[in-house]
Structure 1
Amino acid sequence: MGPRRVGGVSGSDRRGGRRRCRIRSARGAAIRAGDSAQRLTPRARVSEGRISHRHHRPTRRCGRPRRERTIQLRRSCDAPRRQSGGGAHAAPVLPRSARGRRAHVPPGGRALSGTGTFCATSGLPELHVRVVPRHRARRDGPFTSRRGDDTVITVGELKERYWPLILSKVSPGTGRAYKSAWNTRVGPSFAHREIASISPLDVEAEFAVWPGARSTRIDALSLLSAICRVAVKGGFIGSNPCQGAEIPRARESDPSSRALTVAEVDRLIEALPTSGPYRRFVLAMLYTGCRLGEIAGLRVGDADLAARTIHVARTASPGLNGELVVGPTKGRRVRMVPLAEPLVSIIIEAAQGKGPHDLLFPGPRGGYINSKNLSRALDWANVRDTVKSFPPGEEPLHWHDLRHTAAVVLFLAGVSPPDVQAILGHASLAVTQLYSDTRRDAAKRGTAALSNFWAGNRRGQHDGGESAAITGA
């Protein structure tokens, strides 16, 4: 049952008249006493922690009471208060007895902006209320905080309290990136800042001065956004400031340019050992398009030689502190990968003498293979430039470029974009389309169309070199 309104009640409440008389008498006594702090404003009357606007009719014509809006009162008086201004507009503090109370404003009333002092004069202890517009209530940090005092909630405090929750929603690799981003970028910039004081402009300004490549700064922005999402769910802020920040767009990436050509694939195979676990591991990445951790996590039972498919359900990658963690794939999806004919003999060789739960591509000692021991065993830093070179300023050949190669080969083989997306495990078809080379195909079709057009309209056109133009009849 909702709270009763004061200063105006329904016609069926016989006590309403007596209550109004008491309020008016108290108001007159306060005015005669000359105490300005006890005067009631002409817009609202307060009694027993409830607000009723004077010119508002409390009932509908049908006799049913109107619904009331609820506005959170100021909190306790046992903590320091930030002042929003001087004089009569300074932000008051609720007495201890009024902690957690709420003020009710009828729907016909108008909430006052800023800070105002309203005093209860019905014999109860003084009760001060701060009334704010409804559209500002969610953005005002002190009103949305769920803590029992006015202690400032900083970004660093939120991070320490909810750090396990944030890490539980990302992969171990992303967790490592978040840890580095906090130590080098987010922490120095925002750890001391109150979460409610951060604006989208502050986020944009810090993003512009953060050191490092754009990808590492995006990791830092993602971490800050994750902390702000936690603050929104906890009621500390009303909206995520990172969502309103305008981040400059990066140059469109072209992962197909990182792919190996057929000749470069031949050079890669020649650079590998003639046999052994590392050769099988690299060729598995090349022919399946799986990530390095996904190949490391494959077990013998995941390969179905009869159906010529591989079941990809896990990945083995470094954890938050560098330890090896076996968990779900990057997109947390289970997918099926085609088993190409050149890889069949490699799978048969790797599975000899093993059970279905043994690792399919282990290291020489039976453990997991990672990028560091793979590069060290193959002397990759000196071999990769002989396989494929890139212009100055670009990164050298990475193991992940073998995945780009497989994606381009799937399109060249005529596989449809949705099927390529399913094989590679992309979350968005737009990412898969980056490998389709549609721009080059469009340019080829445009070349043929333009050549045919100008072949029939050669008036005034040069016929090769710098010779004179041929003028038709």
Structure 2
Amino acid sequence: MEPALPGAWRSVLDEYAAYLRLERNRSAHTVRAYVTDARAALNHLADARPNADLAALDLAVLRSWLAGQAAAGAARTTLARRTSSVRTFTAWLARTGRLPADPGTRLMSARAYRPLPAVLRPGQAAEALAAAESGAAEHDPVALRDHLIVELLYATGIRVGELCGMDIDDVDHERWLVRVLGKGGKQRSVPFGRPAAAAIDAWLTHGRPALATAASGPALLLGVRGRRLGQRQARTVVHEVVTTIPGAPDLGPHGLRHSAATHLLEGGADLRVVQELLGHASLATTQLYTHVSIARLRSVHGQAHPRA
């Protein structure tokens, strides 16, 4: 059983949560994850050094906390995420005068293994889009919405949360742009093409009016009861469409995002342009997609070149 944290430490966690929410503009999910990690580190401190004060949260305690998790079988990606999370916590503690120095600056972790994301081949993406469009031929409102979900996710590479959070006014019909609110509350505009424009027009003309209710508000995409479409339903739509494509990997909205980024780079797009389109804070994140392209190139080379 975890030791009970002193009341003063619980107050610190409450202040930390408020900092993440109000000053860092983190989502509720991220705040919960960061506070959970911070609480776990403090629990480890209380267990390892009973009666110690908060200033005892030093590098040795942090290393011991992570080592215990590694010994318990935590994945490298989990350890890397928790290391990053606790660094944010100790930096805040030092900045607010609760620690004499920030031990997190010297805390190292093994580099997380990042498997290459599954992506659709261009032909498979075209088949998925055609399958989604065929269901919308009779102007069924749900089919029109589902077509727009798949079309817009692939056309723009936006995240599913960004898609579901869009309002009608976030679509610029003249310039073929969508305005989305990304991670950290950062807003960006992303272009789309003619097929997505047609899907938007069909949805707004024949689909949305049939589902809209007084509870719909300005939401662009709606569920069958007229409320803003949830991310879970959007994921289900993508999975159902992709599973109809022979040989396609099982993927959801994020897989369409991966596919869009990969196909952009394979088509000659500049890496920094793709970074801006995807809303990545770091270019290193976008560079993952170059590895996907190279892996595919090597696969083709190995199959086709007589001297491979």
TM-score range, shorter chain: 0.7 to 0.9
The alpha carbon displacement at 1:206 in A equals: 1.5
Residue in 1 that maps onto 2:276: 422
**Aligned counterparts, 1:152-231, within 5 A:** 155-168=9-22, 169=24, 170-181=26-37, 185-186=40-41, 188-190=43-45, 194-210=53-69, 212-231=74-93
Residues 133-153 of structure 1 show CA distances to partners (whole Å, capped at 9, x for unaligned) of: xxxxxxxxxxxxxxxxxxx99
Identity among equivalent positions (%) equals: 23
Query: Could you tell which deviates more after superposition, 280-289 or 261-270?
Result: 261-270
The alpha carbon displacement at 1:360 in A equals: 2.1
- Is the aligned partner of 1:279 residue 2:140? no
Query: Match for 1:208: what amino acid?
Result: A
Query: Match for 1:281: what amino acid?
Result: I
Pair 1:189–1:397, CA change in 2 (3 A): farther
- Is the aligned partner of 1:370 residue 2:225? no
Contact 1:268 1:387 in 2 (8 A): no
Residues 83-127 of structure 1 show CA distances to partners (whole Å, capped at 9, x for unaligned) of: xxxxxxxxxxxxxxxxxxxxxxxxxxxxxxxxxxxxxxxxxxxxx
The alpha carbon displacement at 1:417 in A equals: 1.6
Residue in 1 that maps onto 2:140: none
Residues 330-356 of structure 1 show CA distances to partners (whole Å, capped at 9, x for unaligned) of: 04322221111221110111222769x
Query: Could you tell which deviates more after superposition, 172-181 or 371-380?
Result: 371-380
Contact 2:176 2:191 in 1 (8 A): yes
Contact 1:154 1:194 in 2 (8 A): no
Residues 230-287 of structure 1 show CA distances to partners (whole Å, capped at 9, x for unaligned) of: 32123232221122112112235434xx221123324534665813223321221111
- Is the aligned partner of 1:336 residue 2:189? yes
- For 1:443 and 1:376, how far apart are their aligned partners in 2? 33
Pair 1:214–1:385, CA change in 2 (3 A): farther
- For 1:173 and 1:386, how far apart are their aligned partners in 2? 35
The alpha carbon displacement at 1:216 in A equals: 3.6
Residue in 1 that maps onto 2:139: none
Query: Could you tell which deviates more after superposition, 205-214 or 418-427?
Result: 205-214
TM-align CA RMSD: 3.7
- For 1:385 and 1:203, how far apart are their aligned partners in 2? 47
Pair 1:386–1:204, CA change in 2 (3 A): farther
Query: Match for 1:342: what amino acid?
Result: P
- For 1:365 and 1:241, how far apart are their aligned partners in 2? 51
Pair 1:399–1:158, CA change in 2 (3 A): same
Pair 1:182–1:228, CA change in 2 (3 A): closer
Contact 2:86 2:104 in 1 (8 A): yes
The alpha carbon displacement at 1:219 in A equals: 3.9
Contact 1:311 1:336 in 2 (8 A): yes
| Equivalent position to 2:113, from 227, 244, 251 | 251
Residues 391-435 of structure 1 show CA distances to partners (whole Å, capped at 9, x for unaligned) of: xxxxx5232111111101211222212211111111122222222
Residue in 1 that maps onto 2:121: 261
Query: Match for 1:264: what amino acid?
Result: Q
Query: Could you tell which deviates more after superposition, 288-297 or 433-442?
Result: 433-442
Pair 1:441–1:295, CA change in 2 (3 A): closer
- For 1:397 and 1:426, how far apart are their aligned partners in 2? 21
Pair 1:349–1:311, CA change in 2 (3 A): same
**Aligned counterparts, 1:88-107, within 5 A:** none
Normalised by the length of structure 2, the TM-score is: 0.73
Matched residue SS, 1:164: helix
| Equivalent position to 1:295, from 145, 163, 166 | 163
Structure 1 unmatched runs, 5+: 1-151, 315-328, 390-395, 452-463, 465-473
Q: Give the number of the structure whose residues are more often helix, by fraction.
A: 2
Matched residue SS, 1:196: helix
- For 1:386 and 1:180, how far apart are their aligned partners in 2? 42
The structure with higher relative contact order (CA 8 Å, sep 6+) is 2
- Is the aligned partner of 1:400 residue 2:259? no
- For 1:160 and 1:267, how far apart are their aligned partners in 2? 50
Contact 2:164 2:228 in 1 (8 A): yes
- For 2:115 and 2:173, how far apart are their aligned partners in 1? 36
Structure 2 unmatched runs, 5+: 1-5, 137-142
Query: Match for 1:239: what amino acid?
Result: A
Contact 2:151 2:195 in 1 (8 A): no
The alpha carbon displacement at 1:380 in A equals: 4.7
- For 1:441 and 1:376, how far apart are their aligned partners in 2? 27
Contact 1:166 1:226 in 2 (8 A): no
Contact 1:287 1:406 in 2 (8 A): yes
